[in-house]
Amino acid sequence: MNGMDPQTLTELLDVSVLDRLDRIEDLPADELARSSALRKEGYSAEVTAGLLTQAQLRRDAVKKLGPFAEDMLFTRDGLAQATRLPVAAHHARRLLGEGKDTGGDEGTEGSADAADSTPTIADLGCGIGADSFAFAGMGAQVTAVDADEVTAAIASFNLRHLANASVEHARAEDIDTSAFDALWFDPARRTVGKGTKSGSTARIFDPEDFSPSLSWVIDKALAAKAAGVKLGPALDHSLVPDEAEAQWVSHLSEVVEVCLYFGEARQRPGRSALVMGERTLLVHEDDLPADDEDGVGELGQYLLEPDGAIVRAGLVTALCGPLQARRVHPKIAYLTTDVEPTGPASAGVTIYEVTDVLPAKIPSLRKALISRGIGSVVIKKRGADIVPDQVRRQLKLPAGDKATLVFTRLGDRHVVLLTQPC
Ligand SMILES: C[S@@+](CC[C@H](N)C(=O)[O-])C[C@H]1O[C@@H](n2cnc3c(N)ncnc32)[C@H](O)[C@@H]1O
């Protein structure tokens, strides 16, 4: 179940319908006008709805898949669960072994050696095929498998230009995985629309209810030569097997996943955080300070907000050394420095200059902000039990300058830091 029935997909896969989809931007942008134009051209109500949905999903997908989205088909759930392409490329590098020759187009086409050295990857629960797209694009021979008929057909369409990828409509549990060089798992972690018209889904909390279940996936991953398992970033650390490397990943400041790597795909045991964006930063558990010091100190001129992947991985104090920073509180994930950090580790934090420390009580805070000419605030919080929108309403500030307010704690004191982003 994924919001599209097989019959609608079959109709959409007709060459002339696909051609109409590719040219849909020629029609008026207004949805109603676009719909009646398509009906006038003779498309049924179902196909018209399918074309409009695909056009919208292609536009939405550009954020994840770049220009490739314009040539792909989606289901709404499939797109929501698809890996962003730069992150999928990172998965591919990990499964293929960084810097390892993948036996790609080196001018040895057709030779037995080249064929033998091409690594094989099974993507077991491939969705619309975003990870497989990267695996095959980077030279692997890919077998992509999905238990959902429509999703498998869409993956097949999306991978059609990659001769080294094939798609099977099957359950992962029924695939013989023994012959593959690497296995990739991205288990479904949301319920499928249970009879609701909108097909809305809900998050599954028990890993045994993932599909396939986490214990089955981990058993397979442990037995594989190399394997990667993509999971939600809120994963309980106690579920990470000792044999795995667990890497939390953020992309453009959004925490997108934790991946467990096994066998040859595991580079360094333990926890790590990978920050992907304009700059990249890798922080590893081994970078944590050796002593048991909590690293708390006086508030300095700068407040540093660590990237969410670093927070989720439990590696905030690993930044203290490289940034010459201290924590503002033993339990709160903010750091502070006297000098604005500039080195490579600064890619792992958002930096704010602290201009004042204000009281947290709303009437006194309001007075203090108005007297400083502040009229528009971004509200951040850690270690403070507030609802930012509610606070903004209660403050009722008259028009004025912009500032970022950080509700947090310094020792036992609840305070608001008046800051400006650097
Ligand atoms: C999170 S999505 C995969 C997204 C994919 N990695 C991507 O980037 O596009 C999980 C997929 O697993 C499929 N699935 C669920 N249970 C499965 C099973 N037992 N065997 C194979 N596929 C399964 C679902 O239909 C869904 O498409």
- Please write the tens of the pLDDT for every residue from 4-32: 788 889 989 999 999 999 999 999 989 99
| pLDDT above 80: residue 221 | yes
* Residue 53 structure tokens: 């949905």
**Cβ pair 288, 317 in contact under 8 A:** yes
| pLDDT attached to residue 169 | 97
State the average pLDDT over residues 367-380.
Answer: 95
Q: Burial level of 107, CB count in 10 A (0-12/13-18/19+)?
A: exposed
Name the residue of 126, 142, 151, 258 whose CB sits within 8 Å of the most ligand 1 atoms, as the mutation to test its pocket: 126
DSSP-assigned letters across all residues of 280-297: -EEEEGGGS-SS----B-
Give dist(CA 294, CA 326) in Å, integer.
9
| pLDDT attached to residue 4 | 79
Name the residue of 60, 72, 81, 145 whose CB sits within 8 Å of the most ligand 1 atoms, as the mutation to test its pocket: 81
Distance between Cα 49 and ligand 1 center (Å): 25
Question: How many CB atoms are located within 10 Å of the residue 399 CB?
Answer: 7
Listed residue (392, 420, 388) closest to 404, CA to CA: 420
* Residue 367 structure tokens: 């007075």
| pLDDT attached to residue 40 | 95
Dihedral over alpha carbons 223, 227, 230, 234 (to 10 degrees) = 60
| pLDDT attached to residue 125 | 97
Q: pLDDT category, 215, cuts 50, 70, 90?
A: very high
**Percent of residues, the chain, with pLDDT higher than 90:** 84
Give dist(CA 166, CA 156) in Å, integer.
7
| pLDDT attached to residue 294 | 67
Q: What is the pLDDT of residues 178-189, one digit of tens each?
A: 999 999 999 999
Indicate the average pLDDT of the chain. 91
Please, which residues bridge with residue 337 across strands? 302
Q: Which residues line ligand 1 (CB under 6 A)?
A: 81-83, 124-131, 145-148, 151, 171-173, 186, 188, 211-212
Name the residue of 64, 87, 132, 186 whose CB sits within 8 Å of the most ligand 1 atoms, as the mutation to test its pocket: 186
Sheet holding 226-231, edge to edge: 165-169, 141-146, 120-124, 182-185, 226-231, 254-263, 245-251, 270-276, 281-284
| pLDDT above 90: residue 195 | no
Using the CB atoms, write b or e for 367-388: b if 16+ within 10 Å: ebbeeeebeebebbbbebebee
| pLDDT attached to residue 190 | 85
Using the CB atoms, write b or e for 16-27: b if 16+ within 10 Å: ebbebbeebeeb
State the average pLDDT over residues 89-94.
Answer: 97
State the average pLDDT over residues 110-119.
Answer: 60
Angular region, 232: left φ>0, alpha ψ -120 to 50, beta rest: beta
State the average pLDDT over residues 345-370.
Answer: 95
Q: pLDDT category, 109, cuts 50, 70, 90?
A: very low
pTM beyond 0.75: the answer is: yes
Listed residue (191, 270, 189) closest to 230, CA to CA: 189
**Cβ pair 227, 218 in contact under 8 A:** no
| pLDDT attached to residue 205 | 86
Question: How many CB atoms are located within 10 Å of the residue 254 CB?
Answer: 14
| pLDDT above 80: residue 67 | yes
Please, which residues bridge with residue 388 across strands? none
Q: Burial level of 250, CB count in 10 A (0-12/13-18/19+)?
A: buried
Closest ligand 1 atom number to CA of residue 172: 20
Distance between Cα 189 and ligand 1 center (Å): 9
Q: Between these two residues, 229 and 98, which has the higher pLDDT value?
A: 229
| pLDDT attached to residue 100 | 46
Q: What does the DSSP 8-state code read for residue 198?
A: T
State the average pLDDT over residues 103-130.
Answer: 70
| pLDDT above 60: residue 113 | no
Q: What is the pLDDT of residues 239-296, one digit of tens each?
A: 999 999 999 999 999 999 999 999 999 998 999 999 999 999 999 999 898 875 667 8
| pLDDT above 70: residue 42 | yes
| pLDDT attached to residue 136 | 97
Return the minimum-mean-pLDDT range out of 114-123, 243-252, 385-394: 114-123
Q: What is the pLDDT of residues 133-176, one digit of tens each?
A: 999 999 999 999 999 999 999 999 999 999 999 999 999 999 99
| pLDDT attached to residue 104 | 43
Q: pLDDT category, 116, cuts 50, 70, 90?
A: low
